Chain A
Amino acid sequence: MKPLERLKQWFGQHARSAVTSLGQLKRRPAASFMTTAVIGIALALPTGFLLLMDNLEAATAGWEGNPRASIFLADGLTPDNQRDLLERIQRFNEVTATELITPQAALAEFEQHAGMEETLALLDENPFPAVIVAELNAALGTLAADQLITRTQALAGVDQVRVDRVWLQRLTAVLQLANRGTVLIGLLLGLTVVLVVGNTIRLDIENRRSEIEITKLIGGTDAFVRRPFLYTGLWYGVSGGVLATLILALTMALLAGPARELTTLYGSGFRLIGPGVGGTFTLLLGGILLGLIGAWVAVGRHLAAIEPQ
């Protein structure tokens, strides 16, 4: 046979298997839909969690500029003492900029906030301590930050040191943990997809046992017998992937409103991130791959056992 003819035959056989297996699924719409739904949900869950993580990371990214340390000074320091401290802190390698906020300046700033004026008027004296705000090197690690805190704390006239990035680092750590957890759950759900497809196709093989026997009897190769089942797995993967995409899109649509409200309240320009073209493509590809693997497992285990009698 000429190579071109062989290629044509190959395409013909595959197209036929693809269409036939799709027809088989269409003949049992309820069963097919249930399998598709399981796959779609199993794919949508971990993807949704990963999107949630991405969104949280994006939402906190704006706050992740240079870490800042607030150094509260002890009461009763003279302005000269305060300037002296300011200069010493300025000389630390880790510090890029400093600013001294005197109690008067702090009071003035707070008085601008509505409602604060009356509250502050009730107090006998200025409740604010003098604060030195130090901008720190962005590359500062947790350990170096701790050392800096200890060193600054040791200076005479320093009451308390707070590095405002600590909670952010904790959040990042929590997000990392959640990300890892999501990946693990994703792997388990991926395995679920493989098992569901595998089991569905195993039943399919059982139901079509006589057809398989007859096909082998009249000269059908293993590849010929295998092909429609592999395409069934592929179709389950495709439809599951599409359903997962729809579920995610619907969820996004439902969450977009409340998310916008929330970000408006926080005055941030954050927008909900969807899976995007790349993500959707990956989701579909993942579905197809898992469907094919499931089909392959079922076919490998059960088809060889069927020999014509």
Chain B
Amino acid sequence: MIRFDGVNKRYPGGNEALRGLDLHIAKGEMVFVTGASGAGKSTFLRMIPLLERPTQGSVVINGVNLGRLPKRRIPFLRRHIGVIFQDHRLLHDRTVFDNVALPLVIAGRSYQDIGRRVRAALDKVGLLKREKAYPITLSGGEQQRVGIARAVVTRPPILLADEPTGNLDPALSREIMALFEQFNQVGVTTVIASHDIPLIEALGHRRIHLVEGRVQ
């Protein structure tokens, strides 16, 4: 599903984030990516929806070589990848419902379809009753769950999360991780970058440890 071959990423200024990264994540797998700050976790995740392009090497997602993907096809790649950010990236002038509905609106779904799917996604993350609230009125954990609902509302085959529990207390973190496991169980390839080693070890999925832009 996700294959990196000899991927290098050098930023302008000479900072090398990835140095010959080789890895393969199979369809339906749940994988944690760990490593110190600057080990290349974020860069690795950002390459999957083409937020970054490799300086060298190839990235193949679901059989598509991203190096050969024309720019105008990028939005359609991103529609198949749900991304969850540590800072949530919600629209603060829109309600929870509208935030979660955005990917469906972009995909041009009908109103009935949007209503049904948004409520299903909000139900899944336990926020059905907050659909009319604005993100600013929600707690950090609730905002994160809105972000998750938005990422899964189109039922993408791939789910990426960059430090999804970074700001949450242990109990909330466990809840969020349990949510990811549920999505994984229905076949979603799930990749999570995290610092939370004890939690990761407790969950017991495959772990990819990055050191200086390489798999250790």
List chain A positions with a Cβ less than 8 A from chain B: 8-10, 12-13, 16, 210-211, 213-222, 224, 308-309
Contacts and interface: CB of A to CB of B under 8 A. Distances in A.
B79 A9 contact: no
Interface in B39-92: 49, 51, 72, 75-79, 83, 89-91
Contact of B102 (A8, A13, A218): A218
Interface stretch (B26-34, B105-113, B169-177, B206-214): B105-113
A218 B150 contact: yes
B75 A308 contact: no
A218 B105 contact: no
Contacts of A13: 108
A265 B187 CA distance: 90
Contacts of A214: 89-91, 102
A210 B110 CA distance: 25
Interface in B84-126: 89-91, 102-103, 105-108, 110
Interface of B: 49, 51, 72, 75-79, 83, 89-91, 102-103, 105-108, 110, 150
> A-B pairs with the 10 shortest C-beta distances?
A219-B79, A219-B78, A9-B108, A221-B75, A219-B75, A220-B106, A218-B103, A214-B89, A13-B108, A211-B91
A206 to B, nearest CB: 15
Nearest to A12: B108
Given A214-B90, A218-B102, 8 more contacts: A9-B110, A214-B102, A215-B106, A217-B89, A218-B150, A219-B76, A222-B72, A224-B106
Contacts of A12: 108, 110
Contacts of A211: 91
B76 to A, nearest CB: 7
A219 B110 contact: no
B78 A218 contact: yes
A8 B113 CA distance: 14
A214 B49 CA distance: 13
Contacts of B107: 219
Contacts of A16: 105
Nearest to B91: A211
Contacts of A221: 72, 75, 106
Nearest to B102: A218
Nearest to B94: A211
A26 to B, nearest CB: 14
B89 A219 contact: no
A221 B102 CA distance: 13
A31 to B, nearest CB: 16
A5 B157 CA distance: 24
A10 B51 CA distance: 27
Contacts of A9: 108, 110
A217 B49 contact: yes
A220 B91 contact: no
Contacts of B108: 9-10, 12-13
A218 B91 contact: no
A219 B91 contact: no
A218 B83 contact: yes
